[in-house]
Amino acid sequence: MDYKIVAVDEYYRSGVFRHFSEDCRCSVSITSRVDVTELADCSKHRNKKFYIDFLYILSKTMNAREDYRLSYLRDTQQLVVYDKINPTQYIFHADTETCTPVYTEYLPEYQSFYENCAIDIEKAKQTREYKLDMLHHETWFDASYISWLSYDALHVELPDGYLYFMPIINWGRYREENGRLMMPVSVRLNHAAADGYLLAQVFVLLQKEIACFVRDENAG
């Protein structure tokens, strides 16, 4: 677990951090639709799983800025930035109506991530155990696919005062709207680590990363 310590007094958002970590402890979330038309076509054309392709792009997006890799070490009361954060995905078992957490390391190289993720998923399908282990996975953020519907809003609430900084991302089924495939994505961040601008930038960066991914894969 590699990270660097952030001096709060020198942190460029120190005022926001202090206010939302001391006076008004809360999280903030936005649900917005993301255009995945070209990504869905690209995945289908290359016989790849859309789910893994999107998880890769999402992980790349959440590693693009230090703001999304911030964390608060409660034992030492230090603000830190991790070198890398990784997605905790969830595999649903229809027979038991339960899920299994899957810790997949984010790797910038697409093919390596794709292959490792596919292996992780198959292993998870063989068990019905929950096995959520946050203690030993501090650099993992929550990435959960809600496959049963295309929703309009989703809220993840944490107790007031709980300085949990890892992003919590959910997304639902995409649906056709005016000839485009639009997918709901919900992003929750701690308000001490992000304001409206940084939250909105997740969606801006996500859309840009999708465009870059499709362009690069089609070119290849």
In tens, the pLDDT along 180-208 reads 999 999 999 999 999 999 999 999 999 99
Q: What is the mean pLDDT of residues 92-112?
A: 96
Domain range spanning residue 18?
Answer: 3-219
8: domain CATH number? 3.30.559.10
Q: To the nearest whole percent, how much of the chain has pLDDT over 70?
A: 97
pTM over 0.85: yes
Average pLDDT, the chain: 93
8 A C-beta contact, residue 68 and residue 220 = no
Helices and strands (H, E) in the chain, number of each type: 5, 10
Euclidean distance between CA atoms 135 and 178, whole angstroms:
45
Highest mean pLDDT among 41-55, 119-133, 135-149: 41-55
8 A C-beta contact, residue 29 and residue 188 = yes
| SS3 assignment, position 144 | strand
Q: In the chain, how many domains are there?
A: 1
